[in-house]
Amino acid sequence: MGRRLKTILYIIGILLLIESVFVFLCIPFSLYYGGEDFPAIILSGLCIALTGFLCWIPFRKKRREIDKRMAFLIVSLIWIIASVFGALPYLLSGTITDFTDAFFEAMSGFTTTGASVIADIESAPKGIIFWRALTQWIGGMGIIVLVITFIPFLGINSMSLYSAEVSGPSKDKLHPHMLTSARRLWITYASFTILTIILLLLGGINLFEAMANTFSTVSTGGFGIKGLSVADYSPYIQYVLVFAMLVSSFNYSLNYFLLKGKFKKVLNDEELRVYLIMILLATLFTVVMLLFQTSYSVEEAIRHGLFQVVSITSTTGLVSADYTLWPVSVSFLFLILMFCGGMAGSTSGGMKIVRIIVLFKNCKYVLTNIVHSRAFFPVRINGKPLQENVIANVMAFFLIYIGVFTVGTILFIALGINVLEALGATASAMCSFGPGFGPSGGFGNYEHFPELGKWLYSFLMLVGRLELMTIFILFFPPYWKK
């Protein structure tokens, strides 16, 4: 067996052992609420743990090396395998009886998309609902970052894996050592998780609902635990969720500095300023449209407008009201915001605000260069000039993104899905948003999609979560050449 394959199996073994621990964390809620899913959770956890142990034990003392090309393959496999085994609790409990649907639900959780095929989530066993929420929380910070955090031996080569999972224009590190950076990110992530749980408990909901909703928001995942998402909750709960979604769509390096009290460093970030201005303007437009074209009161228009704008820009996908019934202009605005997404280095999806900034600044540079052909005006972010290869990568990313969106939409239409819903499905999958338009938007789901449509959607969720390059590099012939 080749050394590379041994390394891949070893890391997959570690992943599955970690995943089994999270499955077992669902046991207390299963037992407290009747235990009907207890056998399924135990059996799922044991199957995952045994498989992980068999992959890990033979190669635990072998020498391991991870180069950049190998990292792309490992990262892609890890997300797929985590979803395959993450489907077991759904299947063994009978919550979902079809593997395609179970894989779809698991992939949606781990990629923090929040798209669901479960029509009546409130009747599902509580242990399974908690597992569903946990998959989002695990995927929010990234499975690779989780592995790096708890497996010290990966410290030497971990940057290759991290680079393969996070392909943005910049990869902020909080410490020169990747292991220390990963741990600081997880501490920040856990801190905001605990804070959100406490704030929700103060709103009068029970611990189960507080934890499940927190996992959905801090991960910007969006799995609701009720049929009407969060529409039935009090205004206080909805405002808390707005706070959690907003903070989670910030760059987590900035969140770390925020916890450390370095407010000046946070406020000086150009991407953050642009992001907040975009949210403010979008909220003002939405609120005005709701006041003039719906029967909402001022407070309702502000709350629902703010909630949906933050939910969409953060690509969380929680719903406080059925936005598909709002004015068409608002729906079009939401589609644009969905593509923009949150900040780089956050748990949100989309193209990321920093890429949008680079695109606009590069357009300005090209136009300026036409007028002043001998002048040089570099594209700057936070006052620092960007290298030409970074700008080229952003342009390539944008071109591929639009290409995948176009092809995905055409394929959905070919499978019999109407144009509006096909547009929404492709955008929501690639942007990790979840709800789309038509029957799959608002309080709807994807249960009615054909089987091939669900596999296509699952592929687009993976592609969107790993920001295109990690997956598509595997289809590039030079990748496989020595």
**pLDDT tens-digit map of 24-82:** 999 999 999 999 999 999 999 999 999 999 988 887 766 556 667 777 888 888 899 99
**DSSP string computed for 38-95:** HHHHHHHHHHHHHHHHHHHGGGTTS-----HHHHHHHHHHHHHHHHHHHTHHHHHHTS
Give strand ranges (E) for 305-415: 380-381, 384-385
Residue that is written with structure tokens 């009407």 in the block: 228
Residue that is written with structure tokens 């998309």 in the block: 113
Average pLDDT, the chain: 87
What is the share, in percent, of the chain residues with pLDDT greater than 70?
90
What tokens appear for 84 in the block?
Answer: 């395959």
The crossing angle, in degrees rounded to 10, of helices 68-86 and 38-56 is: 150
Query: What is the per-residue pLDDT across 379-403, written as a single tens digit (0 to 9) for each?
Result: 888 888 888 888 888 898 999 999 9
d(C-alpha 21, C-alpha 416), whole Å: 41
H/E/C letters for each residue in 418-434?
CHHHHHHHHHHHHCCCC
What tokens appear for 207 in the block?
Answer: 């611990």
d(C-alpha 305, C-alpha 293), whole Å: 13
Range of weakest confidence among 169-173, 210-214, 279-283, 468-472: 169-173
What tokens appear for 303 in the block?
Answer: 């709350």
Asked if 436 and 425 count as a contact pair (C-beta separation under 8 A), the reply is: yes
Indicate the SS3 state at residue 440.
Answer: helix
Query: What is the per-residue pLDDT across 214-272, written as a single tens digit (0 to 9) for each?
Result: 999 999 998 989 888 899 999 999 999 999 999 999 988 888 888 888 888 888 899 99
Side chain identity at residue 3, one-letter code: R
* Sequence-ordered list of residues with C-beta below 8 angstroms from that of 405, at least 6 positions apart, any chain: 426, 427, 430
d(C-alpha 329, C-alpha 183), whole Å: 43
Higher pLDDT, 158 or 361: 361
d(C-alpha 453, C-alpha 436), whole Å: 14
Assess whether pLDDT exceeds 50 at residue 104.
yes
Q: Cα 398 from chain centroid?
A: 19
d(C-alpha 110, C-alpha 146), whole Å: 12
Q: How many residues does the chain have?
A: 482
Mean pLDDT value of segment 259-287: 92
pLDDT at 176: 45
> Predicted confidence band at 344 (pLDDT cuts at 50, 70, 90)?
confident
Range of weakest confidence among 130-134, 200-204, 258-262: 258-262
